Amino acid sequence: MRLSTVILPIHRWNEGQKIWHRAEGLGFHAAYTYDHLSWRSFRDEPWFGAVPTLTAAATATERIRLGTLVTSPNFRHPVTLAKELLTVDDISGGRLTVGIGAGGVGFDATAMGQEAWSPKERADRFGEFLPLLDELLTQDATTSEGRYYSAVEARNIPGCVQRPRVPFYVAATGPRGLRLAAEYGQGWVTYGDPRGPAEVPVEQAPAVIEAQLAKLRAACEAQGRDVDELEKVLLQGSTAERPLASLDAFVDWAGRYQELGITELVIHWPVPDSIFESDFAVFERIATEGLNQLG
């Protein structure tokens, strides 16, 4: 099992670079950031762009993997996104992971003046977005015409440092998204029950993930793919569980999900006076000692 962190893009870079550098020093496998235009209770607070943040983080670090968790079609197009991802992969020396999902109904959904898409339209768009992004990142030139997204002689030379392209970690819980994860993903991401994870009792939270993993396994079997080829990533912070309360709490939490088959845990870098507030001394102990205490 691997342990990673997600660093919100809320810091001016003279402070932010210290955090990304510290994440590498603590030994995290990867450091991700959210890819939103604004997000929930942080809407009226500082919030910077994910891709420029990852570009800067690539120059401030040497070993840690970097990534989005997650990007979506809400305000992006595959042609421009592919060019940006290729560039970050190059600057980082092949350390980029692309967490990607269908998007939602938050501020991103309407910030560009459009109506929020229905769940069906989000799924339809993602079903075009992800295959086209895959094609753009694996070919020098791409021409494709879709209902929502098209490319005309779009060039991506010299291609990704990582071959055949940067890895996709697909966030999905529904059948169409899971099929895409099975077909295109090198990893799969969940944060719990998408209908309202914070309302799921603590004792029931692992069962939600177990059921999702069973569906992922079935989707992989339908694609003729071994589910063990995919990383299984759990993002902490959306359930009633409190694994950052103490080192022992983390070890108990991590152990439960390790037994279920989760291969990477992602915990939020502490943000004072927010929903992600936690004791930084405890957080550091978790980063440096937590996985070593798993049986």
Q: What is the pLDDT of residues 101-154, one digit of tens each?
A: 999 988 899 999 999 999 999 999 999 999 999 999 999 999 999 999 999 999
Alpha helices in the chain (DSSP H): 13-25, 50-60, 78-91, 119-138, 175-184, 205-222, 247-260, 280-289
The pLDDT of residue 174 is: 94
Window from 182-186, 195-199, 230-234, 237-241 with minimum mean pLDDT:
195-199
Across 47-60, average pLDDT: 98
| Residue 257 pLDDT greater than 90, yes or no | yes
Rounded to whole angstroms, the Cα distance separating 293 from 113 reads 49
pLDDT of residue 146: 97
The token pair that represents 214 in the structure block? 């069973």
pLDDT-based confidence at 238, cuts 50/70/90?
confident
Answer yes or no: is pLDDT of 196 > 80.
no
- Ordered by start, the domain boundaries in the chain are 2-293
Residue 114 φ/ψ, nearest 5 degrees:
-90, 160
Mean pLDDT of 161-177: 97
Q: What is the pLDDT of residue 199?
A: 74
- Greater model confidence, 295 or 164: 164
Per-residue pLDDT at 181: 98
Asked whether residue 200 carries a pLDDT value surpassing 90, the answer given is no
CATH 3.40.710.10 correct for 2-293: no
pLDDT of residue 48: 97
The pLDDT of residue 273 is above 90: yes
pLDDT given for residue 228 in this prediction: 97
What's the pLDDT at 195? 73
Quote the pLDDT of residue 201: 86
- The stretch 204-212 carries a mean pLDDT of 95
Neighbouring C-alpha atoms within 13 Å toward the C-beta of 196: 3
pLDDT at 197: 65
Strands (E), 156-210: 168-171, 187-190
